[in-house]
Every structure is written in structure tokens, then in C-alpha cells.
Amino acid sequence: MKPIFFFSLLLLSLVCHSSSEAQVSTSAHSKAPISIFEALSAEHEGEGIITIYQPASVKAAVGKVSGRLAGLIEGESNIRLIQGYRIQVYNGNMAASKREANRRAAQITQLHPEMHCYLTYRAPFWRLLVGDFSSREEAEEAKQQLKKSFPSYAREIYVVRDKIRQGY
């Protein structure tokens, strides 16, 4: 009885081992799809078959951003990024720099709600930029307004070139 039990156990383990090797070898030979069309058209056991009829021009264009939309901000279809000017009000790399930049942004927003504040962090600096100006002259006028409103910040206020938001 014992030899039959061990023989059947050995046979069962060999069958399981060979089937697992077959699965590993088939998954090793499958490659990642190149495009969404290839991924959708791939045949998988136990699933249906998807056939996609598309001209080659459509397949070539999928996954690429058109030149007209390249400057759009994700999720805001009516906002476009262009080269322009902003006013740098704060730039710091101390432990309390984030808090200080947020405090200044709140003060500026309270006095000048028409000027948008942009707080950015690019290691190790926190930076507060204000406004979206298409010309340097506009930015200089707004800079003078900010210097009058906040004389204690006057030495830190500069006009800088940056990508700005433009609605269209």
C-alpha cells in the first residue's frame, strides 16, 4: 500500500511541476503591447475577441498631443500656458519658508484679489510668484503697486520671466 501511495504522490508532483513550468514559459514569451490597439486586440483564454478597424493615420495619431493643445493645462481646456512675466514676492529655503510664503500670499490676495498667487517648491526653495502679465511693462506697474502696499517686502520684489496662464 505504501509503495502505491508514494508512487501516486510522486506522479502528482511531477504533473504539477511540469504544468507550472509550461505556464512560466508561455508568460515569459508574451510581450507587452506596443499600443492600445494591440492591447485591446490581444487574445486571452476565456475572454472574447476584440477587432478594431481604424485607418493607419488614426493609429499613428493616438497617444500624441496635437500642437494646438500642447500648451493647455491638464483639466483646464480654456487655459493656455504662454511665455510672460510674474512678480516674485518671496524666495526662501529656511524651515519656516513655506509658512512665510503662505502668509504673504494671503496678505496679497486680501489686498489685491485680482492678482493670482502661485506658491511653488523646487528643492530647497519655496517661491511665491504673483500675477500673469503678458508684457514686462504691465508687470512693472503691478510691482510698483505691491511695493506701495507692502513696503517691508520692497527689497524682495522682482519681475521674473515665467510661463503664465492665458484664457482664450
Q: What is the pTM of this model?
A: 0.55
What is the per-residue pLDDT across 119-164, written as a single tens digit (0 to 9) for each? Answer: 999 989 999 999 999 999 999 999 999 999 999 999 999 999 999 9
Give the sign of the dihedral formed by CA 86, CA 90, CA 92, CA 96: negative
Q: How far is CA 17 from the centre of its chain?
A: 45
72 belongs to a structural domain? no
**Burial (CB count <10 Å: 0-12, 13-18, 19+), residue 132:** buried
Tally of domains within the chain: 1
Task: Evaluate whether 83 touches 136 at the Cβ level (below 8 Å).
Answer: no
CATH number assigned to the domain comprising residue 113: 3.30.70.1070
Q: What is the pLDDT of residues 32-55, one digit of tens each?
A: 556 677 777 778 788 778 777 778
Q: What residues make up the domain containing 131?
A: 81-167
CA distance 134 to 150: 23
Say if 1 falls within a structural domain. Answer: no
Distance CA 107, CA 60 (A): 50
